[in-house]
Structure 1
Amino acid sequence: MKRLMCLFASVVLMLGSGQALASVLSFKFQDKIQNDGVGTIDLFSPALKEKVSNGATLEAFRRDNNGALVFSVSLNEPNDGSENSESQGVAIESVELRLIYATETVVITDLSTVTYSLLLKKGNTNRALYSTIVGDSQSNRTSSDILSEMNGSSFDGTLRVPVARDLTDLMGATFTVRFLVVDRKLTDPEAFYDFAGADEEIALLSSADATYLDALAPGRALAPLTLNASGEALVNWTYYPSNDGYYVASYEDLFPKQGDYDFNDLVVAYRVAMDTNANSEVSRITGSGYLVARGAAYNHDWRLRIALPTWASGLATYNFYEASSLTPKLGFPKQQWVSGELDLLLAENIAGEFSDGSSTYVNTFHEQAVVEGPRFDFSVVFDLPVPFADIEEAPFDPYLYVYDTEYEVHLMGKSPVLGYSRNAQNSLTVFKDENNYPFALVIPDDFAPPLAAVDMGLAYPDYLEYVLSGGAQKTDWFRRPVVERVKNVPFKNW
């Protein structure tokens, strides 16, 4: 009997005079947010035709949510960039709730969400705080109300629009949502909060379902730079490129000569995480990675540099491990003081550390068995927290020092930093050739390096167009290799 009374209470809302308002059971709309990131939703058009939505319906939801309409989006983002099935998100640039009465039209543009992030809108130069919706790929989520369309659904975060006036006499209503277009050339948090999936469903929530989803917080624990409306951190860790992904740094070590341009002279996988406090300040940076492949006669050091404010200081601790070992090599851990920048020598004298026993070439020949590479990790604890916005953006500055030539090899746009290298004295401080070809790349971790002596353009036919367009065209060139010309190295399973 108590269960029946609870269900009855959840579907009928009474005015003070005793007049019954419409049922308050969460439901989906027929219209969707399109894959261009914009959707105008007719609030009088439920997805199920047997449902009825009108002014009385919306007023019931407004009263149930204490003077607001609360929506939810079923995220349908691909496992691309830093998103994955466990955590994905979008940012909201604007909303417009248009309320059409017989004699006037009222437009409301205020909104609030549980989560926010500092993001760079495409075309802008500075990050700003934007509302976000975070979720995952669960498709059978249990609702707080079994009669609600949320029960067994895949809906994620909530979006709240305050409405101060009665909606009973509405003639019509629309809700327009515009997702933020971020600069997709950047990594997290922009890479996470972009949108690139199929159409997104949207639903109107009862207070019970809104409270349930807010408490469930799907995907939030793994989302990067998750803040509240005041810019305070809700999730401490921000991962680069993601909590389960890696950057892959690949090098051509004959710089400034192009050489065979097979980009497998050294291949390194790395990830970084930042621990943020309630003021969006970073108190600690950690990282780890593997040596993936080595197709060179030359010897190298591999370093990771992250620029910091000049006043920043702290203590870094780092380790190097032989393949499959859980115990650091003799002489580790090592420590160094950090001041103004983080520049760690994470893999030293690699020719002596990474081989297959009979060759200096490792994981670069077709017939060669895959050899597990050594790994490294590091942790930096700052003396004083460093503002997140003042730390160099990912993928940072992963670079190579080549013993045989005494040159550094960096990503395009970076500069040599070692006092003992020959780059500055020989005026070799630009890391691309006259045709705009780079000597170092950072690529997502589904990249398979070319086989030894196979030009990158032959292994990846779209690479040429990518380079000649200055990175504007064929940005996903690395997803379409000629399979017989590359070496798949499953380092994520090591």
Structure 2
Amino acid sequence: MKTSILACALLIASTSGYAVESIMFKDTINKGVGEIDLFAPHSSSYFKDRLTGAMLEEYKQQNSNALVFAVDVNEAANGTEKASTQGVTVESAVLTFDMGSEVVTCNIFTTNTGAMLAKAGTTTRQEYYTLIGATGSSHITPSTDSDIFGSDFGGTMRMPIDESSCTGSNFDLSNAQSATLSIRFLEVNESLGDPEAFYDFSNGPEDLAILTANDVSYLEYAQPGVDEAPLVIAQSQVVEPVDSWLFYPTSDSFFVVSYEDQYPNLGDYDFNDLLVGYRVGFGFKNNEQSGELEVVSIITTGYMIARGANYDHDWYLHIPINESVSGSLTMNLFKEDSVEQVNGFPVTTEVNDALDVKVLANSKTLMHLSNQAFVNTLADVEKIKGKKFSFTFNLDTPFPASALGQPPYDPYLHVLNTGQEIHLPGKTTRIASSANFGDTSNFKDENNYPYALIFPDDFYPPLEGVDIGDAYSDYLNYTQSPDQTNETWYMAPDTNKTKNIGKAFWKW
């Protein structure tokens, strides 16, 4: 895709004769510190000449009175860092413009990601802006003239140029005789492990580029490395340092829970009324006095996958613990394919007695399509991504690992239209006001059919109105008499009767 003739005309810098494109700078961020001359492009840049104030003004105008920079995050693999997801923490960033009559400085910046981190020499965490990237994040811009085309540039940093963000009074960058960006990464306390080890700076040098509005859009849509970072983001809200983490089912897989919401009636039994993927992580510390492993924090991450119901629901996750617990819980809910949270989030609440969390409220509001009753369960309707969630529970007092209940724990549905709770077989109701509080049915019908099931994360739900026994031919045999010959029934879907929506799609 090429820029239109009209757009090109608007992008011509008055003193250069070049169309403004994203430019990589000559100076780099080395050992966490960078002094970047904004008039000096890299020798390999498509733009060979010296940049000017007039060109900086063009970048500013395109990006709503801000300069936006991209960083090629280039870090050694510490903690959970790897080629496909790497991070650094920005401690400070200052723009300095010599306008001739005055010097203007701007020190307000934002990035698309943030984390609670402890600075080197401390164990107290506070919030910082972070930059996340990945190796090999190529072809992230439509313009072959851009310096970030085919590059590894990742995280973006926005710095507004206005009276509320800068000193001085002259914000027309066309008047700038020189321009410098001073940037410093935070030295984190790596001894704490993740998330600090993920967001350290250890390798480098990092290249830096200034972006056109077009490339800002493409780069922030691509978000290289961010798709693998939710776990790290959730960990970053953990207050107490941990010695080790343990995740169920694993650190890179999910339980998928699926419901039939007509309980106590069987309904169409297509098991697609709500699908949610989730994983649970436990942060442990070694109690040196008792020698016991103790849980100090719990994190959960997951996604809405599909909703094939006329009913509305709230979705809860109860993590059984064989003793009373208390602490602070932070709930995050992210917009589809975005690091931006839904309005009103994050939310922090106090927990007492039991860890029983309403994670998703009003499923129909959270996941819907215009003019469609169902999402990701119809054969002839395109798939959409659902919202991502995470929560972090910081315990007031650790408890022994032996007090933990067994995975997949107790994910349950509260059907708002009927008031009924729906749990996995063998679980008990939790909400005193629910229509079936105290239910002893074991959440199976008279034929032993359950209303909630747990699957691996590549389970394909039946299409709308297709009985799960028709979509998976071995399901009925397994339900009636489970054994080793039919326990993998969910691995053989009828592709004409199921929706192809595995983890490769819904885990964004």
TM-score (norm 1): 0.51
Secondary structure of 2:344 counterpart = coil
Q: How does 1:21-60 map to 2 (within 5 A)?
A: none
Does the alignment pair 1:412 with 2:425? yes
The answer to whether the 8 A contact 2:303-2:507 is kept is no
Counterpart Cα distance in 2 of 1:306 and 1:424? 19
2:336 maps to 323
- In structure 2, the CA distance between the partners of 1:266 and 1:471, relative to structure 1 (3 Å rule), is farther
1:309/1:340 contact within 8 Å kept: no
2: CA distance, partners of 1:458 / 1:414: 27
Aligned residue in 2 for 1:343: 356
Amino acid at match of 1:410: H
From 263, 277, 296, the counterpart of 1:255: 263
Q: Which residue of 1 aligns with 2:245?
A: 237
User: Which of residues 447, 450, 457 in structure 2 aligns to 1:435?
Assistant: 447
Q: 2:411 aligns with which of 398, 409, 415?
A: 398
Asked if 1:454 corresponds to 2:454, the answer is no
The AA in structure 1 aligned to 2:250 is S
Q: CA deviation at 1:299?
A: 0.3
Structure 1 residues 81-160: aligned runs within 5 Å: none
Counterpart Cα distance in 2 of 1:437 and 1:397: 18
Q: CA deviation at 1:335?
A: 2.2
CA distance in 2, matches of 1:293, 1:434: 28
Counterpart-to-counterpart distance in 2, 1:254 and 1:346: 21
Alpha-carbon separation, structure 2, partners of 1:354 and 1:492: 13
Conserved 8 A contact 2:431-2:437: no
Give the % identical residues: 41
Alpha-carbon contact 2:430-2:437 (below 8 Å) kept: no
Residues 272-292 of structure 1: CA distance to partner in whole angstroms, max 9, x if unpaired?
Answer: 111111231111100111110
Q: Does 1:368 align with 2:368?
A: no
Q: CA RMSD in A?
A: 2.0
Q: Is the contact between residue 308 and residue 340 of structure 1 (CA under 8 Å) also seen in structure 2?
A: no
Cα distance in 2 between the residues matched to 1:471 and 1:413: 19
> What letter corresponds to residue 405 of structure 1 in structure 2?
T
Match of 2:496 among 451, 470, 484: 484
Quick one: distance in 2 between partners of 1:256 and 1:487?
26
Q: 1:325 Cα deviation (Å)? A: 2.0
Distance 1:471 1:303, change over 3 A: farther
SS of the equivalent of 1:483 reads: coil
| Match for residue 264 of structure 1 among 247, 256, 272 | 272
Q: Does 2:429 correspond to 1:421?
A: no
Q: 1:315 to 1:235 in 2, by over 3 A?
A: closer
Distance 1:493 1:378, change over 3 A: closer
Letter of the 1:352 partner, please give it: T
SS in 1 for 2:490: helix
Q: Indicate the SS of the match to 1:295.
A: coil
Q: Which runs of 4+ in 1 moved over 6 A?
A: none
Structure 1 alignment gaps of length 5 or more? 1-221, 223-233
SS at structure 1 position matched to 2:496? helix
CA distance, structure 1, for counterparts of residue 404 and residue 505 of structure 2: 28
User: Separation in 1 of the partners of 2:435 and 2:485?
Assistant: 34
Alignment partner of 1:338: what SS? strand
Which residue of 2 is the match for residue 24 of structure 1?
none
Consecutive unaligned residues of structure 2, counting only runs of 5 or more, are 1-230, 232-241, 287-291
Tell whether the 8 Å contact from 1:460 to 1:482 is kept in structure 2 after alignment: yes
User: What is the rounded CA distance, in whole Å, between the counterparts of 1:374 and 1:360 in structure 2?
Assistant: 17
Aligned with 1:288: secondary structure? Answer: strand
Q: CA deviation at 1:440?
A: 0.2
Q: 1:472 to 1:421 in 2, by over 3 A?
A: farther
Check if 1:379 corresponds to 2:392: yes
Q: Could you tell me how far apart the structure 1 residues matched to 2:353 and 2:482 are?
A: 31
**CA deviation vs aligned residue, 1:441-470 (integer Å, no higher than 9, x gap):** 111111100000000011111111111015
